[in-house]
Amino acid sequence: MPELPEVEVVRAGVEHWVAGRTVDDVAVLHPRSVRRHTAGAEDFSLRLKERSFTAVRRRGKYLWLELDSGDAMLAHLGMSGQLLVQPREHAAERHQRVRIGLGPAERELRFVDQRTFGHLMIDPLVDDTRGGSAGVPAVISHIALDPLDPAFDDDVFSATLRRKRTEIKRALLDQSLISGVGNIYADEALWRARLHWARPTAHLRRPQVSGLLEHLRDVLREALAAGGTSFDSLYVNVNGESGYFERGLKAYGRAGQPCGRCGAAIRREAFMNRSSYSCPGCQRAPRG
DNA sequence: ATGAATTCCTGTTGGC
DNA sequence: TGCCAACAGGAATTCA
């Protein structure tokens, strides 16, 4: 499931292949994949055709391909989305949803997405009110900076977090507070910080928040260096190669296996219609 | 206004 | 062998 490290791997790969290319053909094969483009699939294609890609940027789990029109093609991979660059004559992937011809190269950009939680849309770039220098797509202006962004402010995050009446893992998954963190890296950072997912944010000390951010950045950077995490080949990078950080996971998906720190069996708990993995020895549940 | 629950989707897996 | 429930989960939307 693509989180920040996987999306960054895709961003870099896509940028290598599309920068300077001009769109000479667009085919929307599944309308759901452009559902957030409210003007419709035809308008989506129209705004891409004959436009050139100038840069590829990312914030959290969103990435966008800047166009020479002042718009950007915004992409979110959801759970199973892939952006692939393939020769045009290469056979279509089973769940190919959108195809974008890259002139004058004999290649095309393909959006492949089995579960269709991901999406593409065209959106105007607006001034970034969150501290960046480049423009951001208007529809994601509410998304917070991610913790690897140089402009991310730890003190502001800590203060905002401690004003909230919620649990720490909910906050980590709230993209308006901090972006790029999903279920996997939230569990990994909490394990490293020895914090249980249900800890109330209002009771966290500032040094605990700082420590958590440090662990979060560590695990994100390690995963990025390894090319991202992948489990079932639904997620692959732009060249079709799976990431392999799963061997570095200490909590996520390890229910029943011994904690690498204290040996206790990692537990799995239901949480927000999904699962949370933690160590009962090193991550004590809060009282109440 | 805030926080939490619901919903969208498809392929795989496990139990009976 | 076949059927069905559970599961994977990001984030917009809806609800309380």
> Could you check whether the bond before residue A104 is cis, i.e. omega within 30 degrees of 0?
yes
Say how many Å lie between the first and final Cα of chain A, rounded. Answer: 32
pLDDT value, residue A232: 47
Domain-embedded: residue A86 = yes
Query: Is A147 within a domain?
Result: no
Q: Are residues A86 and A186 in the same domain?
A: no
Q: What are the pLDDT digits (tens) for A54-97?
A: 999 999 999 999 999 999 999 999 988 999 999 999 999 999 99
CB of residue A274 closer than 7 A to nucleic acid strand C?
yes
For the ranges A39-43, A104-108, A132-136, the one whose mean pLDDT is highest:
A39-43
**How far, in Å, is the CA of A180 from the C1' of nucleotide B8?**
21
pLDDT of residue A2: 86
Confidence (pLDDT) at A177? 96
* Total tally of structural domains belonging to chain A: 2
Chain B bases closer than 7 angstroms to a protein Cβ:
2-12
Examine the domain organization and report whether A192 and A77 are in the same domain. no
Three-state secondary structure call for residue A125:
strand
Please, are residues A5 and A223 in contact by the beta-carbon 8 Å criterion? Answer: yes
Average pLDDT score over chain A: 91
Nearest to A147 by CA among A195, A216, A206: A216
Residue A285 lies in a domain: no
A120 and A39 together in one domain: yes
- Indicate the residue among A140, A175, A204 that finishes a domain: A140
On whether residue A284 sits in a domain, the answer given is no
Q: Which pLDDT does position A227 carry in this prediction?
A: 76
More confident site: A281 or A13: A281
Sheet arrangement for strand A22-28: A22-28, A96-103, A107-113, A81-87
On whether residue A104 sits in a domain, the answer given is: yes
Residue A83 structural domain: 4-140
Q: How far is the CA of A123 from the C1' of C9 (A)?
A: 25
- Range in A199-208, A218-227, A252-261 the model is least confident about: A218-227
Q: In this predicted structure, what is the pLDDT of residue A287?
A: 83
Alpha helices in A107-205 (DSSP H): 154-163, 168-173, 183-193
A115 carries a ligand binding annotation: yes
pLDDT reported for residue A242: 55
Catalytic residues of A: 2-3, 61, 274
Distance (Å) of CA A276 to CA A55, A247, A254, A267 = 36, 18, 10, 8
Does the CB of A60 fall within 7 Å of any strand C atom? yes
Give CA–CA dist A158/A13, Å, rounded: 33
Residue A169 and residue A248 in one domain? yes
Mean pLDDT to the nearest integer, A255-279: 93
